[in-house]
Chain A
Amino acid sequence: MPPELEANPRGIPKAPFVDNVELFLTDGQVEPTLRKFQEMISKYKYMEVHLLQRQKALETKIPEIKKTLDTVDLLISQKDAEEQMETSFELTETLWASAKVPSTKTVYLWLGANVMLEYPVEEADSLLQEKYEKAKTSLQQVEEDLEFLRDQVTTMEVNTARVYNWDVKQRRTRREGPSS
């Protein structure tokens, strides 16, 4: 028995599966069915485009969070150092400057939307850890959704092929007339 029309955890509807072409088509004709299938395939592909964009955005964000996290960890390890840390940083593209960073107990985190907040180093560390984990979970969910979507598209494509083939066979049988 094909499963009922359900949705995955993020609300993407499941594609119907055509078990037996003849039974499936008794209430409809081939043309509108094929058209409906194509419509569903385009809807799924549209969702896929969106998900791919989200995936790309997350794949850029995650290494950035990691870099910030690494830097904060470095500052934590230098917190009790007596000497200043010598660093070279990018002032602008192709232009680097050197700086001496004294040990510090607080950092400023850029939170987006033109907002920057001061945090004690350890709090910054746990905040960034949390952000990192959340981003990784989101990415995993997006990848799961993409997999689910592709499943539905494949199912629909197989449905389309079978309905089409069945129709071709029917036409050929009709054209050749009843066999003696």
Chain B
Amino acid sequence: MSTVELVPKGEEVDEEVTWEDQQNINAFRNLNDKLESLETKYDDLKREKEYLDDLSTELELADEDELIKYKIGDAFVSLPLDKCQSRIESEQAKLSEHVEAMSSSIADVHDKMAKLKAVLYRKFGKSINLEK
């Protein structure tokens, strides 16, 4: 998870690490982990949304009388076009909500990380590495 690196001789700092500092370090690491998992989920959600958008475009050109096999659970159900379209619309609405919530969480995490970075670099300078 973490690598141990040697600090070059002239740059050793014997700073005392207070409990508050430790908590800041832990908080930063937490936010970093959270950011990674949020970004993966966000990419997945965006891809799903794209699929649904493509799908609804396709369906606009579909024949009205044709029954469409729509996947529910593990099986496909033959549904009329309008039912399919309304299901897709509600899925899209749910996804959009999800995507928005997620992108605001990501922005929030970025914000907090920037603030913590400032605090930690101010105290520890070169003794700490906060980059990816």
Contact = CB atoms under 8 A, between A and B. Distances in A.
A158 B17 contact: yes
A118 B69 CA distance: 27
Interface string B83-103: 000000000000000000000
Interface string B64-81: 000101001111111000
B61 interface: no
A150 B29 CA distance: 9
A2 interface: yes
Determine the interface band of chain A, counting residues with CB < 8 A from chain B.
20 to 34
A15 B30 CA distance: 16
Interface in B1-42: 1-2, 4, 12, 14, 16-19, 22, 25-26, 29-30, 33
A96 B71 CA distance: 13
B129 to A, nearest CB: 12
B55 to A, nearest CB: 17
A94 interface: no
Contact of B76 (A3, A88, A153, A155): A88
Given A70-B72, A151-B26, 4 more contacts: A85-B77, A85-B78, A147-B33, A155-B22
Interface of B: 1-2, 4, 12, 14, 16-19, 22, 25-26, 29-30, 33, 67, 69, 72-78
